[in-house]
Each structure stands twice: as structure tokens, then as C-alpha cells.
Structure 1
């Protein structure tokens, strides 16, 4: 007897009903994920089991007329497999294609799907729309840092990049910093800024002052919590650049996307925190020195600094160690903290598992049949 295999399909509206946009619950979930990572109860891709994923990029020129070309920003496909243990005990993968030009035809830059699989048989459990899932877990990992590392009584937030990551960064700000009443934002295009401001007005009326600023210095100065959430390429000279003299004592910078700052200031004046040090070590293997640029996340600069013997590995604190009590979090009211967020498929699988279980309880989704009996076995 061969077992019938069915699996659930959840579209975006069903994911919303299942709570994919519940930022406080997502932050709770990401705390459990980061604890699993530090304990080692997970597996990702690559021989090192810590790879971000496998990426397909395209050549600048090709003799094959139908092959996509490397035109514009962020033109790629990516597969991100993972297993996460702990309370999740689930395998799965995020798969997506990305093209900034999508925005010209009313589509998101990236179109994502997440598949959950039985950890033993590999059979599909649930195929789900992944855009909101990925966006909220991307905001929730910074949210963990905000919850544990933000200065007490933070009142002023700043966001560079008013797109999707900017919106979920704001959701994380508001879920973790209840006294926040002032927001500064910098963007590159009127359309995204207008959309962001409409979102702020509709969602967070408690913000009494919302200001669009024109430069990085104004954005950073006097801000308690700062998020860099704008997409960027592989040229560090084009990243948002922060001078140490602009940063308020005690400020927390969370960085799910690209920015750069002075190496000496990072070494001498900042506490450097990462979401999972093993991810950055894997990137350093896959993208040999200098890694920062090939990988536009500030944590790759941390590992480059280790390579240059400017700092040692012990100068980088893993967020999971803070959560498990193995390392301190904020050490003083005036301490400046830079928290690097790389993004990992274990996060998608974990948040997907939570949303899937919610959907089952609510009777959501469409049951699809893989087979009644496999034709070949």
C-alpha cells in the first residue's frame, strides 16, 4: 500500500488571515529561531550547513537570445533550503526570482514562494505565498535586536529606505519601542515615500512627528533607533555612509540591508552584534576577502575586519548568545550598538510553520493532491 500525498496551498490573502503580518508574534518566533541557531539545532545549505542559499545570476552578454542578461539591479533567482529544530521541527525552502524592473509593471521586486516539507519523507506539507512571510521575518529579526538592545525610552526612529523593508522595520520599531513618537525617513523616489507616508498615517497615528529628510546626517543625528533597509548592489562606495560623529550616544543601528561606516569608529566606539555569526563565516568562505561588497550586509565588514586583524572574532557578539544569557546585551546607556541582519531560510521555514499551523486551525487553504499512488517507486 502506498500512501496518498496531499498538501495545502495558501495564497497571500489566506496568509494574511493566518497572521503572517502579526509582528509581535513574528518577533517571538524569531527569538526562538535565533536560540536554535546558537544551540546548533538547524541545518542550511552548503557543506558548512550555514549557506544563505544558492543564487543564479546572469551574464552581461550571452550568445543565446533567450537567456536573461544582467540588466538593472537585483536580477537573479535564488533557492534557500533549511531545516529548523526546536519548537518548529520542519524542513523547507524559499524560492524566488528578483528583478527591480518588476516595479515598472506593478509587481514586487521579488516574487517568493515557500514550501514546507516533511522532515523524514520529503513529502510536501504546504506551499505558500512568501512575499509577506519573507517581509515580516525580515523585520522581525531586527525586532529581536530592538526588543533587547534599544536604548530605554527611545523616542526617535529613523529609516533609510521607505519600501517594503522600511515598512516592516517600522512595524518592528512600534512593536518594541512603545514611547516612540518621532520618525525620520529618507528615500530615493517620490512614489515609495508617498506610499510609506500613507502607511504611517493609516497604521501609526501615535507618531506625532514624521519628517522626510534629504541626507544621511540629518537622518542619523539625534535618532535613538535607526534602520538601514534600502536595497543595494555590490559597490560599497554607493552605500549609505554614516560618520561616527553623527551617531547619538546610546543609539542602536539595525541593518537588514546595506550601509557603511568608519572602520575605526566601529572598532573603538561600537558594540558589533550579528544575527548568526556562522552565516557570516560561511559568506567569507563563499565570497573570499574582501567579502563586504559581494555581500552588502555590514556583518560582512565585521568579518573583513577580523581578516585584517583589526578586531578578533570575540569582538562580535551573536544575538543568540545574548538571548541564551551567554553574552551581555547593552552594557551601558551610552553604548552605540550596530546589529547586522543577514537573513536566513530557517526564518522563513519557522514563520511559515507557525502560519501553516494557524491556517489549519482556521480551516484556510486549498488541499492539493500530489498522488494517490506514485506511478514509479
Structure 2
């Protein structure tokens, strides 16, 4: 049969993405786990992400994450995601994104999905996966959130839907109103002992699981006392911790080469210390039993966020939506051969 372009391009709207993920977060977590394992086996292609920045606007950026993922997914594609923090002041989301999926036989794109929800969900799934594997169970005496925006809320939704047993929460955000909104969402989930705190250290000291989900561009936490009780720290926003704290902890990441760039705390630690010896393993090392937790030290998971995760979640969403006849086909999108 001769090669031919697809008959149409399928557009999957944000509402359809959300509908697929809500109530199916266990399956989303499984897709992320499978993507990590396939990547570790070398069944992927993952160029470095490309950061587009604007002169005189250091906080704004648009990032391209191209990738190929095998391991039963057999898909290529690219996520194109913008992060404009000033949007929040104008009632807009900080991040907006699309994900394009390409057929690996012909290279033709066959789907375009709204991807801010996919991106946030794969980030939250990665964090939830790391937390349960590093702790060894889906429970925590108390969880601290530093940053209570969109990503934090997606992580909250994963913890709730996955049935985590949590005894309390401590919330810190420079925007006190955002922290109060987050606390109301937790109380609506019937969560106990929810408190908004005025000092970032309180989000650490009272908690055995700490989630950093800020928009910080440079490290702002450098007090060694925050890690003395050996918490599990999900360093989702990557740039919060001073290199001295990185050196004091056990460190786990998703891909060592990818995370050592773009001014992440691990990148700054490499520049300060001249080596990468402070990295103790990857999440796949944890999944496959090659990482040993030191109970006397904090463990910090710093995920760079890999394009293969977007492909895994995006392919799962696309296939599920398409199977039930959803999405909006755009016939005649490609020129005739």
C-alpha cells in the first residue's frame, strides 16, 4: 500500500484532555512510569529542549521539547510551551502549550492537542510517582507546598485521586491570596490540619514531604535547617534550592544530562563544585531498586521534565479520545500528493 498523508489532522481541545485525565490519574501515572522505563532502556530519542527567550524580558520564554518514544508508544512529536508569568496578573494562565504528534512511518503530524493540561499532568504524575517510590507508600504525616499555583494544584489532584493518606498540610506562597485559595481547595477535599504559613521554613520544618512548585528563576532557599529532619523534597520548579542544600542531600533526577543546564539548582551546584558526584541516581534507579535511601539525609527529586513524558501522556489521551469519536478532525489540512 503506497504511503499517503493522513486524511485529516485531529485537534483535541483542552476540555477533552481534562475529561480524559480526571478520574483516570492512575492510568496517567502508569503511562509516565512506562515512558521513564522505555527512556532508560534507550528506546527513545530526546534532544535537548530549546529555550526561546526575549531581549529585556528574562522571565518570559517559550520552550520546544522534541522527542521520540518507543516502548509500545511508538510516537514522535514536539511540545511547544510558553511561560509568561506576567499573564497571571491579567487573569490569564502563566503557561500555554500545544503538543503535535507525528506518525513515525511517514513523519506526518496526525494530531494537535492542547497541552498545558498534559504538561501539568505529566509533571504532577512524575512528582507523585517519585514521592511514592522514595517514601515507599502513598502516605505522609504532613505535606508542605511552597508555591500554590497551577502545578501545585495538579499535584494536589493526583495525591487526592491516588488515595494518599495525609495528616496535614503547610502552605507557603508569596501571594498569600493564592495560598488561601489552595487551602480552601484542600478543605473541600476534607483534608485535615491545613495551615497557611508566613515563612517558607515552616513549609519544611513541620513536613516529611515538601513540594516546591514556584516560578523562581534563582535559588531563594539556603537555610540548612530546612533539611535537618530528612524530608522527601519534590523540587519540581528546579531553581529554588541553593547548591549548598543540594550538596547536603541525596539527589535523584530524571535525566542527569538534561537537568544540568538552564540554571537549575543542580546545574549551579555542578558549576560551584566542579563535578556531579552529588547526584545519587535517577528515578528509574529508584524504580528498579538501585537507589538506597539514607534515612539520616533529605532526598531531593529534581525532574527536568522530559519530552518523552509529554508524548506518553499525549498519546494515551489522543488514543482514548479518538477511540470514542472525540476530537475535531480538520479534513484537507495536507496538500494533495
C-alpha separation in 2, matches of 1:329 and 1:164: 32
Match of 2:277 in 1: 312
Where structure 2 has 5 or more consecutive residues not aligned to the other structure, the ranges are: none
Which of 228, 237, 240 is the matching residue for 1:259? 240
Match of 1:42 in 2: 44
Mean CA deviation greater in 95-104 or 8-17: 95-104
- Whether the 8 Å CA contact 1:80–1:95 is kept in 2: the answer is yes
Where structure 1 has 5 or more consecutive residues not aligned to the other structure, the ranges are: 46-50, 61-69, 284-293
Match of 1:197 in 2: 183
Counterparts in 2 of 1:212-291, with a 5 A limit?
212-233=196-217, 236=218, 239-247=219-227, 249-257=229-237, 258-261=239-242, 263=244, 266-267=246-247, 269-281=248-260, 283=261
SS at match of 1:18: helix
Match of 1:66 in 2: none
Residue 131 and residue 21 in structure 1: after superposition, are their counterparts in 2 closer, same or farther (change >3 A)? farther
- Whether the 8 Å CA contact 2:63–2:81 is kept in 1: the answer is yes
Match of 1:29 in 2: 31
Q: Deviations over 1:2-39 (max 9, x none)?
A: 73521211111111222267433222221112112221
- Whether the 8 Å CA contact 2:259–2:303 is kept in 1: the answer is no
C-alpha separation in 2, matches of 1:250 and 1:104: 36
Match of 2:156 in 1: 170
C-alpha separation in 2, matches of 1:367 and 1:123: 15
C-alpha separation in 2, matches of 1:177 and 1:270: 28
Structure 2 length as normaliser, TM-score?
Answer: 0.89
Residue 276 and residue 247 in structure 1: after superposition, are their counterparts in 2 closer, same or farther (change >3 A)? same
- Whether the 8 Å CA contact 1:58–1:76 is kept in 2: the answer is yes
Residue 262 and residue 123 in structure 1: after superposition, are their counterparts in 2 closer, same or farther (change >3 A)? closer
SS at match of 1:57: strand
C-alpha separation in 1, matches of 2:95 and 2:221: 26
- Whether the 8 Å CA contact 2:235–2:301 is kept in 1: the answer is yes
Match of 1:179 in 2: 165
Report the CA distance between 1:119 and its aligned residue: 1.2
Match of 2:17 in 1: 15
Which of 307, 321, 330 is the matching residue for 1:359? 321
- Whether the 8 Å CA contact 2:280–2:291 is kept in 1: the answer is no
Report the CA distance between 1:100 and its aligned residue: 1.9
Number of equivalent positions: 333
C-alpha separation in 2, matches of 1:316 and 1:27: 23
- Whether the 8 Å CA contact 1:151–1:251 is kept in 2: the answer is no
Mean CA deviation greater in 11-20 or 214-223: 11-20
Match of 2:112 in 1: 127
Q: Deviations over 1:122-175 (max 9, x none)?
A: 112211111111111111111111010026652100000010111123234445
SS at match of 1:232: coil
C-alpha separation in 2, matches of 1:21 and 1:96: 25
Residue 349 and residue 192 in structure 1: after superposition, are their counterparts in 2 closer, same or farther (change >3 A)? same
- Whether the 8 Å CA contact 1:154–1:225 is kept in 2: the answer is yes
Counterparts in 2 of 1:35-114, with a 5 A limit?
35-45=37-47, 51=48, 53-60=49-56, 70=57, 74-114=59-99
C-alpha separation in 2, matches of 1:28 and 1:34: 10
Structure 1 length as normaliser, TM-score?
Answer: 0.81
SS at match of 1:343: coil
C-alpha separation in 2, matches of 1:337 and 1:95: 31
Does residue 1:349 correspond to 2:311, yes or no?
yes
- Whether the 8 Å CA contact 2:143–2:170 is kept in 1: the answer is yes
C-alpha separation in 1, matches of 2:314 and 2:292: 28
C-alpha separation in 1, matches of 2:326 and 2:162: 30
